[in-house]
Amino acid sequence: MATHSSKIWPYVGAAAGIALTCGMVFAAGETLFSVALDSQSKRSLFRRKTDDDSLAQHDPAKQAGVDEQALQWFDEVKHGVTIRSYDDLTLHAWRFDANTAVPLPHAYAICLHGYTGEPSEMASWAFHYANMGMRVLVPAQRAHELSEGRYVGMGWLEKEDLLRWVNSIVAKDPDARIVLQGNSMGAATILDACADPRLARNVTCAIVDSGFSGEYDQLLNSVAGMLHISKLMAKPIVDCGSLINKVRLGFWFTQADALAQLRRTTLPMLFIQGDRDEIVNPRMLDTLYAACASPVKKKLRVEGAGHTLSLRTNPTLYWQTVDAFVRRCFHIAA
């Protein structure tokens, strides 16, 4: 009897070890979801940025090249507008008229901020497009600034909101021509929408700055980097986080696949990234560009620029490239 028991105990111990490991991995996946995607969680990065001034002060998105003149203009002339999301949230945006005596006919720009950011960080972009003669819309992504919502979709949920913002413009101006500009998660939002058959043909071109290939890969890189572990070790954590995301938000991380969208898009695309990006792998620029099926595409690598900092690092090169691309797509004489 004792001999039989001694044979069983190693299996019991192994089973207990496996159960404990699985429990730890699942807890880590739950933590990942709470920290990264639940803006109201006590552990959320959103709350940490609100409570910790040092985090907000050193946030790359806050340093993305917003000059004082653009920020003052943004605060003084903005007009609030709202729409309802597909899941019945009130989404907020700031609207701006063209900042020229003779606006470009039917020309609009939609500027999308990044993860844990806010519309004002897009002030430089909004100011530039308004000075070109465009009307500008700068939405607050769901769960950011004045927009309702608890959870963040890293671009996948937000693409549904972008489609509605586009439609809100087209409903008032059926002849509208629209350029989309997004930074980081704002770029991911555009990438996730670029091949959607529901995207209005009024969208003329898109500019994505510091975008990433998909939610799964980006979270995998982030978890591995933050915990100083290999991607192989980080994978079970992200897989559990993906399961939790599927249960709560209705989609797997792998569904938010920008590369799959790019392989089907015909939308003219400009990809921008700094070669010193520490959040999104700088090689992502070539990956996105290679995947893009559009016959009109261009890429810009800015030397010495970190995440979303290409404009601040080399504003002359940045705007020369962007302006030439927009003028080409909008058929605007130089």
Per-residue pLDDT tens for 59-71?
444 555 578 899 9
Tens of pLDDT, residue by residue over 198-252, are 999 999 999 999 999 999 999 999 999 988 999 999 999 999 999 999 999 999 9
Owner of token pair 């899941």: 87
CATH number at 169 reads 3.40.50.1820
Residue 39 lies in a domain: no
- How far are the Cα atoms of 243, 309, 310 from residue 304, in angstroms, in the given order? 38, 9, 8
Residue 148 lies in a domain: yes
Whole-model pTM? 0.90
Contact 116, 88 (CB under 8 A): no
| More confidently predicted of 13 and 323 | 323
pLDDT digits (tens, 9 = 90+) for 50-61: 555 444 444 444
Q: What six digits make up the tokens of 132?
A: 């070109």
Please give the pLDDT value at position 122: 97
Is residue 322 one of the residues assigned to a domain?
yes
Digit-coded pLDDT (tens) for 73-110: 999 999 999 999 999 999 999 999 999 999 999 999 99
Query: What is the tally of structural domains in the chain?
Result: 1
pLDDT (tens digit, 9 = 90+) per residue, 246-291? 999 999 999 999 999 999 999 999 999 999 999 999 999 999 999 9
Q: Is residue 233 part of a domain?
A: no
Residue 46 falls inside a structural domain: no
**319 burial class (0-12, 13-18, 19+ CB within 10 angstroms)?**
middle
Is 286 part of any domain?
yes
Structural domain range at position 126: 53-214+256-330
DSSP string, 151-190: B--TTHHHHHHHHHHHHHHHHH-TT-EEEEEEETHHHHHH
User: Is residue 9 one of the residues assigned to a domain?
Assistant: no
Please tell me the distance from the alpha carbon of residue 91 to that of residue 149, in angstroms, as a whole number.
Answer: 9
